[in-house]
Amino acid sequence: MNESGHADLRHALPQARRYARALTGAQDSGDALVAKVLRGAIPDMPPRLALYAAISQAAPAPSEGGLMSARQRQLLLLTALEDLRLPDAAMVVGITAEDAGAEIEAARAALHAATVTDVIIIEDEPVIAMDIRRLVEACGHRVVAVTANEADAVALAARHRPGLILADINLGRGGDGIAAVARIQQAVAVPVIFVTAYPERLLTAERIEPAFLVTKPFQPLALAVATYQAITAGRPPIG
């Protein structure tokens, strides 16, 4: 591969890390998967798609008994979180666009039968907090608390022991969302989805980072997919 090709791969690494982390459920396993595929042969397709394809091929199979197949999970993550067009996502997983469309429809149906859990939302913008609550409840989950304050978030998590936390990074005067999650993780092992306008701040692989990121402004399906993956395949992203 020429220098231009290597530069394009480096440029695509943040997206590749986000996909791998969401697919495996944790930063360490996702970043290890990216490192593994970079040491091997990269498929002959545009760099970003090539990394997605290599990661999809090398990813460990999810545990049996889930509502979705590995391919369905991959297609949902690629189209909803990574915002790929259907033909590109189909190319990544190696099937036709028609077959990919059918797989995605089946996967979306499975979302409605996903595991129900208690959720805490940590968000300082009231309108966004309201939108997140509405979408989370539409997925069938129970929102047990909403807060914009770091200290309150820690106390609420200890009280409610939620099955999922959705958090903003910057809480303004309320503190820091990453710090709140780190404190919560000391006492409660819980998957976390960060909803942020600045995902690049958490995709450097230079420190402990979350497995699940949804970028503001977000689409309802993206949040639903991240929630499903966090609950069914995720491990706590910050410890």
DSSP H or E run through 165: strand 164-167
DSSP character at residue 4? H
Rounded to 10°, the helix 47-58/27-39 angle is: 110
DSSP H or E run through 101: helix 97-111
Contact between residue 47 and residue 29 where contact means Cβ atoms under 8 Å apart: no
* Model pLDDT for residues 122-173, shown as the tens digit of each residue: 999 999 999 999 988 887 889 999 999 999 999 999 999 998 999 998 888 8
Contact between residue 119 and residue 141 where contact means Cβ atoms under 8 Å apart: yes
Paired residues of 215 in beta bridges:
196
Contact between residue 175 and residue 200 where contact means Cβ atoms under 8 Å apart: no
Per-residue pLDDT tens digits of the chain, which is 239 residues long: 555 567 888 888 989 998 998 888 888 888 899 999 999 989 999 999 999 999 999 998 765 556 788 899 999 999 988 999 999 999 999 999 999 999 999 988 877 666 688 999 999 999 999 999 998 888 788 999 999 999 999 999 999 999 899 999 888 887 888 889 889 988 888 888 888 876 666 655 555 566 688 887 777 788 888 888 887 764 444 33
Locus of tokens 């069938």: 140
DSSP H or E run through 144: strand 142-147
* Model pLDDT for residues 217-235, shown as the tens digit of each residue: 777 788 888 888 887 764 4
> Which domains are assigned to the chain?
3-111 (1.20.140.160), 118-233 (3.40.50.2300)
Q: How far is it, in rounded angstroms, from Cα 214 to Cα 193?
A: 7
